[in-house]
């Protein structure tokens, strides 16, 4: 074990049942939009807040682009509510979203919580895909909320 590396923990949340993963605490079969999931995560973080929240979630696609977009934005807003509770001041958040009518509203909410908000499209995403990520850094520093 290297002593010069920072110590940390990984907590995963998934609406589906997921197999155990060495070194991670998992909230399997939990819905991020449910208050009970937020409470369970807060219980797993009693000592220190999270430094990073990474959300790669997406709803099951219905085939109706705007409906799917709206469902994902609702999930992203739940992640932002969670970030207000558990993210360390100065922390970062990465959140997948699909481009659409509500993307600006989501970006505005992020901008009210973080000093730096960027939109990124991973190279691995297909060119025609609506998948994008908000990369938000420096949470909750005075003057940003």
Q: What is the CATH number of the domain that holds 21?
A: 3.40.50.150
**Mapping DSSP to helix (H, G, I), strand (E, B) and coil, where does residue 29 land?**
coil
Domain presence at residue 65: yes
Domain span holding position 98: 10-139
Using only C-alpha atoms, the chain has a radius of gyration, in whole angstroms, of 16
**Ranges of the chain whose pLDDT falls below 50:** 142-145
Gap between the Cα atoms of 114 and 98, Å rounded: 20
Give the model confidence (pLDDT) of 35-74 as tens digits.
999 899 888 887 778 889 999 998 888 999 999 999 999 9
- From the CB of residue 109, how many other CB atoms can be counted at a distance below 10 Å? 18
- What pLDDT sits at residue 144? 40
Taking a C-beta distance cutoff of 8 angstroms, is the pair 125, 131 a contact?
Answer: yes
Q: Is residue 29 part of a domain?
A: yes
pLDDT confidence of residue 108: 95
Annotation says 121 is catalytic: no
pLDDT of residue 6: 64
Cβ neighbours of residue 105 closer than 8 Å, sequence gap 6 or more: 73
* 145 located within any domain: no
Task: Give pLDDT, residue 143.
Answer: 43
Task: Check residue 2 and give its pLDDT.
Answer: 58
Within a domain: 4: no
Helix (H) / strand (E) element for 108: namely helix 103-113
Q: What is the pLDDT of residue 23?
A: 83
Catalytic-role residue among 7, 75, 85, 96: 96
Q: Does 5 reside within a domain? A: no
Indicate the number of domains in the chain: 1
Residue 144: inside a domain, yes or no? no
| Strand 131-139 to 87-98 pairing | antiparallel
């Amino acid at each position: 074990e290297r002593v010069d590396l920072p110590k940390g923990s990984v907590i995963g949340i998934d609406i589906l049942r997921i197999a155990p993963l060495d070194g991670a605490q998992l909230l399997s079969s939990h819905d991020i939009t449910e208050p009970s999931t937020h409470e369970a995560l807060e219980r797993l973080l009693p000592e220190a807040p999270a430094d990073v929240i990474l959300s790669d979630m997406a709803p099951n696609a219905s085939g109706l682009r705007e409906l799917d977009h709206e469902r994902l934005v609702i999930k992203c807003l739940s992640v932002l509510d969670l970030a207000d509770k558990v993210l360390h001041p100065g922390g970062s958040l990465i959140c997948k979203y699909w481009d659409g009518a509500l993307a600006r509203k989501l970006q505005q909410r992020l901008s009210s919580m973080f000093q730096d908000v960027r939109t990124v499209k991973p190279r691995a995403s297909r060119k025609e895909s609506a998948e994008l990520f908000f990369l938000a850094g420096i949470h909750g520093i005075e003057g940003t909320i």
